[in-house]
Structure 1
């Protein structure tokens, strides 16, 4: 019998997910928790589930930290994040932390069930078309209490270095001199940085750095 756990603090969303997941198959068991602590109690008392669906914006804990705890304590149990924070860096970080999938809350019920089935089949689910997401003043950013490394949002070491020097106000030529690269190569790295962050300009990239709390200590 399929056994699922929904961890979501908003009652209306949680109840909707539970009713929807109950349609997965005959006899499916769907349990629910309104916060991370109660979810851990359920897991400790009842053993592992076939899948945990985890919201990122939970009370009392950073959602990324919660995901990390679940992956460490229950490494064989798949966890899929279901969240409204569906920008590219968030999806990348979630998958880098070991989630088996990222399912946007904007999905229809049919699309969500399809994504859940994909994860239950042992595959990694990432929504199509999210790699081109853009960041603007209205884009929500999930709670993050500590700085994150550039690689956690999908940047390579070199891309992290280029972005760090952008933050210092250096021009492409200055960055090229600093890193021993050609100016053309710096432009290529900058374009890749913008794509990864879902932005289209230096200004937006600097906003993204501030909002995500990217820490460049590890890149030099």
Structure 2
């Protein structure tokens, strides 16, 4: 497994490397201290399996930087590792196409579980998002609907109900397929179901009251 740890704090990088070697003793870990270095490492190592990314590094970045990386390397799993536990930040990162969002305060066991999920092709959604169904606003200021989803997620769900694939939804909404995947993961977890078909049935039941 090849992983890029991108964070401008040496102690954080050292701690994450320790977790990664607990997860996979044979892991090869690269480091970057700013956003320009992230792109250089990815270009030099096209067989990277995962990027653990702090959005607040020097050299640009933030959500625009994440979107740029997502668009430039659509097949690469990029997980945001952040000191922020703000729901708006979490939702913003997932909406920008992150394969997961892990607060730096998370215990080692949770981080390893999240990495397992992402490396298996899933999207890690922080539990804070799933327990915030009653919030009145989403990351874009939209009011949450009766399903507990944001307006953007409702839009994805509507296209799912039309039988569209993730690729078709991404094309129609003009977003990355990985972003659609993140939305679908949140939809399933928010509705407490395990498949797209069950999500559609759950929404129909909600609509019928």
Q: Normalised by the size of structure 1, how large is the TM-score? A: 0.59
CA deviation after TM superposition for structure 1 residue 60, in Å:
2.2
Q: Which residue of 1 aligns with 2:151?
A: 156
Tell me, in whole angstroms, the C-alpha distance in 2 between the residues paired with 1:156 and 1:117.
29
If you compute each CA radius of gyration, which structure gives the higher value, 1 or 2? 1
Tell me, in whole angstroms, the C-alpha distance in 1 between the residues paired with 2:112 and 2:6.
16
Q: Which residue of 2 aligns with 1:118?
A: 117
CA deviation after TM superposition for structure 1 residue 132, in Å:
3.0
Tell me, in whole angstroms, the C-alpha distance in 1 between the residues paired with 2:85 and 2:8.
18
Tell me, in whole angstroms, the C-alpha distance in 2 between the residues paired with 1:123 and 1:27.
22
Which string of whole-angstrom CA distances, capped at 9 and with x for unpartnered residues, describes residues 124-183 of structure 1?
1111134439x9xxxxxxxxxxxx9546x98538xxxxxxxxxxxxxxxxxxxxxxxxxx
Tell me, in whole angstroms, the C-alpha distance in 1 between the residues paired with 2:86 and 2:44.
35
Tell me, in whole angstroms, the C-alpha distance in 1 between the residues paired with 2:54 and 2:25.
25
Residue 80 of structure 1 aligns to a residue whose secondary structure is strand
Q: Normalised by the size of structure 2, how large is the TM-score? A: 0.62
Which string of whole-angstrom CA distances, capped at 9 and with x for unpartnered residues, describes residues 59-88 of structure 1?
121321121111011000010001011211
- How many aligned residue pairs are there? 143
- Runs ≥4 residues deviating over 6 A: none
Tell me, in whole angstroms, the C-alpha distance in 1 between the residues paired with 2:151 and 2:107.
34
Residue 52 of structure 2 aligns to a residue whose secondary structure is strand
Q: Which residue of 2 aligns with 1:99?
A: 98
Q: Which residue of 1 aligns with 2:132?
A: 132
Which string of whole-angstrom CA distances, capped at 9 and with x for unpartnered residues, describes residues 192-216 of structure 1?
xxxxxxxxxxxxxxxxxxxxxxxxx
Structure 1's unaligned 5+ residue stretches are 136-147, 158-220
Contact 2:35–2:61 (8 Å) recurs in 1: no
Q: Which residue of 2 aligns with 1:9?
A: 8
Contact 1:48–1:74 (8 Å) recurs in 2: no
